Amino acid sequence: MDFPKAHSFPISIMRARSMGPNPLKLCEELLSCADIPAGSIVLDLGSGAGLTSALMARECGLVVYAADLWSDPSDNMRFFEGCGLTNRRIVPLKADATALPFASDFFDAIVSVDSYNYFGRDPSYLGTHLLPLVKRGGGLLFAIPGMVRDCHDDLPACLLESWTPEQLDYMHDIAWWRDNFSQTDGVEIVDMHEMSCTREAWADWLSCDSEYTAGDRAAVEAGALDCLNTIAVVLRRR
């Protein structure tokens, strides 16, 4: 992919506001997996510092609710305004993924980039907390950091260069996630596949100057990306 939408944001903005592998490229590739018409109302769940929300609102014409537990909504709104977006196009809010303050059938789609694995590992999460918020026929699109194959019983040394076994327990392979989603009634698994931009997104992240980047670098340089991937998930509410 050429990533024209991701590249519409200066590299300095990506480096300053990323919280992991380049969320702009992950988001653009994920959105290419499904058709979300302009004007659709979308929840960006786990929106972080707002990069994915800004891309969806400015570059795709979506109306976005940017929900994150740890980011400051006021800081995100200043960033959105700097991108030429008003609160009629994008709404930042602080929200817990298990207590989302929205009506049933509110969203045309829900998108989550590089965060679903933190709150969605419990198979009951999808049906209890998320699916009711999407209109019937609406889509749920996730870009989930994962493993090429689950290896928790024999973790490669390269992964342990940066992360503990407890941290790595947030990572699973496609088969694990397929089983997770299959336990929810009322949802169709439309597509699940490895994303193509994982290594590029990681390279962009490692070009950032932060303590978190420095912590991840040892594992990547030891070969961790041979074990890790990003999983694109497209679901539909029946």
Distance CA 77, CA 86 (A): 8
Residue 165 backbone zone (phi > 0: left; psi -120 to 50: alpha; other: beta): alpha
- N-term to C-term CA, the chain: 31
Distance CA 210, CA 214 (A): 6
Question: What is the count of structural domains for the chain?
Answer: 1
Domain residue limits at 96: 6-148+171-196+229-237
* Parallel/antiparallel/unpaired status of strands 187-194 and 90-94: unpaired
User: Does 58 have pLDDT greater than 90?
Assistant: yes
Per-residue model confidence (pLDDT) at position 118: 97
CA-closest candidate to residue 106, choices 130, 125, 77: 130
Per-residue model confidence (pLDDT) at position 79: 98
User: Does 71 have pLDDT greater than 90?
Assistant: yes
* Parallel/antiparallel/unpaired status of strands 90-94 and 41-45: unpaired
Rounded mean pLDDT of 97-121? 98
CATH number, domain containing residue 68: 3.40.50.150
Residue 97 resides in a domain: yes
Q: Which one-letter amino acid corresponds to residue 154?
A: D
User: Looking at the whole model, is its pTM more than 0.85?
Assistant: yes
Residue 79 resides in a domain: yes
Lowest mean pLDDT among 18-22, 144-148, 208-212, 228-232: 208-212
User: Does 233 have pLDDT greater than 90?
Assistant: yes
Residue 138 resides in a domain: yes
Residue 201 resides in a domain: no
User: Does 193 have pLDDT greater than 90?
Assistant: yes
Q: HEC string of the chain? A: CCCCCHHHCCHHHHHHHCCCCCHHHHHHHHHCCCCCCCCCEEEEECCCCCHHHHHHHHHHCCEEEEEECCCCHHHHHHHHHHCCCCCCCEEEEECCCCCCCCCCCCEEEEEEECCHHHHCCCCHHHHHHHHHHEEEEEEEEEEEEEECCCCHHHCCHHHHCCCCHHHHCCCCCHHHHHHHHHCCCCEEEEEEEECCCHHHHHHHHHCCCCHHHHHHHHHHHCCHHHCEEEEEEEEEEC
Residue 48 resides in a domain: yes
Residue 212 resides in a domain: no
Residue 93 resides in a domain: yes
Tell me the pLDDT tens digit for each residue of 89-104.
999 999 999 999 999 9
CB 24 within 8 A of CB 49: no
Confidence band for 211, pLDDT divided at 50, 70 and 90: confident
Confidence band for 77, pLDDT divided at 50, 70 and 90: very high
Give the other-Cβ count within 10 Å of 25's Cβ.
26
Residue 154 resides in a domain: no
Mean pLDDT of the chain: 98
Rounded mean pLDDT of 187-216? 96
Distance CA 160, CA 153 (A): 13
